[in-house]
Structure 1
Amino acid sequence: MLRSGMFSPRNLAKKFSPVARPKPPAAGTDWPTPLYSVFNRPRLSLGRIGPLEVRLARNFTEVRKAQRLRYEVFYEEMSAIADAQTLASRRDADPFDVFCDHMLVIDHSSLKRNKLGRLKPEIVGTYRLLRQDVADRHGGFYTAAEYDIQPLIDANPDKRFLELGRSCVLKPYRTKKTVELLWHGIWSYVLLHKIDVMLGCASIEGTDPDRMASTLSFLHHNARAPEEWRASALPDRYVEMNRIPKENLDSKAALKALPPLIKGYLRLGASIGDGAVVDHQFNTTDVLIIMPVSELNTRYVNYYGADASRYSS
């Protein structure tokens, strides 16, 4: 969903996180607002470019708006399959939302009237952030439902992990400016919480691995994580990525076909886990992104500033 630049494979570094997923609320129920409010969300701006600001959601009302944005992008624009509750609420929501921080891009020049008739700036982009210390208290990372990341966590107990997920931006805002602001927000958040490693699942549209054989093979041959950091897809969900021999692969065409978000991750210094996972609900095939802070592209760090001061407001 995000724009990016040229491919630049790099090595990996360290760390990971927990086990089982939280149990969802009973059917027909929703997360009560007090659960969200107990986490003391800071009133902190993470950056600003003109009318666009990136910051964390401050209350569950803003989380709901982010969920509606996700629904608009994932279900209406793309082809995710909604269950009855999702259709009725018109929100993309799951049990993890209540424990995560939700990073928002807000357009202060575009005002929308809320249910009380008040004009509020429009939320035009979002990223879901889950820190390891929070995941440890609430059943683990979303990623653990697709990839066996526990061995990496156990091998690196001194590292702090951050899971990135549910990234989306409204179509008119898929510009270099918005993407830069999102990454500035993530970098600010990483520094604020002393994060060592970022991870998460990134998606390729479609559920037929044979139709994306060149893309998956390109990632396998050119961006696979070193063995010591190579978390694998869970055995019952594992899809082989090595589908075309390297010598038979049109790397230029495969790179061009990569989703912009994955190219952006690779440009920043990310590596890819072992095996893909088909997600039929979202009509995607997922790959594991592993992005240690120590291996981030120095141009990225220098551009946003070692103290994330480039777009500070």
Structure 2
Amino acid sequence: MPGLRLRAPLGPLPDGGGDPVLGRIGSLEVRLARTVGEVKRAQELRYRVFYEEMAAIADARTLMTRRDSDAFDPICDHILVVDHDAQEPRAFGRRAPRIVGTYRLLRQDVAERHDGFYTANEFDLRALLDRHRSKRFLELGRSCVLPDYRGKRTVELLWQGVWAYVLRHRIDVMIGCASFEGTNPHRLALPLAFLHHKARASLDWRVRALPGRYVEMNRLAPEALDARAAIAAMPPLIKGYLRLGAMIGDGAVVDHQFGTTDVCMIMPVETISPRYINYYGADAGRRAA
């Protein structure tokens, strides 16, 4: 995920910034960020996960602000999971619920009024968008959760929020980059080959890594695959996408700044496994506030 410098200070939140709570489990609540300050706190969470816990390389601005930010943040909606039982001190003696998880969402209509999708920095999306001009696309990205909250409840609430957002904005297709830790594709040969042979998108939905960034995923023959070991080697987010019915694009991309190897996820809403739609509710009502 190549870093992009912020073009201007964070401005007004995009459409939907004042939407109500999307779901609750106990003290945890999922909702959209309502203020610029909340977006900055989500960026602080991303910094802790991507730069302090993982291997992302910070530039001077990122080190100074201790926030993971780029030019897309001001035009995106930001899903937050907050813990009301973990209040944190803020400025002027105030306290606020701790932000423990976040997801960044960019709708196609918003992207087209600005500089397009973030994923287009790594994958050629144009043909896909042209083939499905009647569809509404949503980009998912910058997903992260604090280590102490990486359990079922937090992940479930993040997906509750995404599903409610998809229904509210009548989204047809979700896309985005999903990452493996590490920049050596040889060490990722097994999971990359598994995705290539078992989860590659059909031609109608396929996207390809950009020329010059393309990394071959077909590193093992199908008969050499150990499916159980391949799945065990995948990050939870990618496994979650596969369970929902996501397809994977053609070719991976090495992102040296973030220390990752990225694949492109494509997930038409119509192909989502019915068991998950039933679980969260056809109207996203299972965890509704």
SS at match of 2:204: helix
Q: Deviations over 1:104-142 (max 9, x none)?
A: 000011000102111111100000000000000011000
- Give the Cα separation in 1 of the matches to 2:68 and 2:133: 33
Is 1:43 aligned with 2:19?
yes
Counterpart residue number, 2:9: 32
Higher relative contact order (CA 8 A, sep 6+): 1
CA RMSD of aligned residues (A): 1.5
Q: Deviations over 1:162-220 (max 9, x none)?
A: 00000000000000011111111100000000000000000000000001101100100
- Give the Cα separation in 1 of the matches to 2:211 and 2:16: 38
1:227 Cα offset (Å): 1.2
Kindly report which structure 2 residues correspond to 1:191-202, keeping only aligned pairs within 5 A, or say none: 191-202=167-178
1:37 Cα offset (Å): 3.9
- Give the Cα separation in 2 of the matches to 1:24 and 1:203: 21
Q: Deviations over 1:210-251 (max 9, x none)?
A: 011011001001100001111000011000000011111222
Q: Deviations over 1:15-39 (max 9, x none)?
A: xxxxxx9x8446xxxx334x22464
Q: Is the 8 A contact 2:6 2:69 kept in 1?
A: no
Counterpart residue number, 1:232: 208
Is 1:261 aligned with 2:224?
no
Is 1:281 aligned with 2:281?
no
- Give the Cα separation in 1 of the matches to 2:6 and 2:100: 28
Is 1:53 aligned with 2:29?
yes
Q: Return the letter of the residue paired with 2:63.
A: L
Number of aligned pairs? 288
SS at match of 1:302: helix
SS at match of 1:255: helix
Q: Percent identity?
A: 63
Counterpart residue number, 1:292: 268
Q: Deviations over 1:72-124 (max 9, x none)?
A: 00000111100111001000000000000000000011000102111111100
- Give the Cα separation in 1 of the matches to 2:13 and 2:105: 16
Kindly report which structure 2 residues correspond to 1:1-313, keeping only aligned pairs within 5 A, or say none: 24-25=5-6, 31-33=8-10, 35-37=11-13, 39=15, 41-313=17-289
Q: Which runs of 5+ in 2 are unaligned?
A: none
Closer, same or farther in 2 for the Cα pair 1:252/1:188, shift >3 Å? same
SS at match of 1:227: coil
- Give the Cα separation in 2 of the matches to 1:119 and 1:37: 22
Q: Return the letter of the residue paired with 2:157.
A: L
Q: Return the letter of the residue paired with 1:262.
A: I
- Give the Cα separation in 1 of the matches to 2:120 and 2:19: 30
SS at match of 2:217: coil
Moved over 3 A (4+): 23-26, 37-40
TM-score normalised to structure 2 length:
0.97
Counterpart residue number, 1:12: none
- Give the Cα separation in 2 of the matches to 1:304 and 1:226: 27
SS at match of 2:91: coil
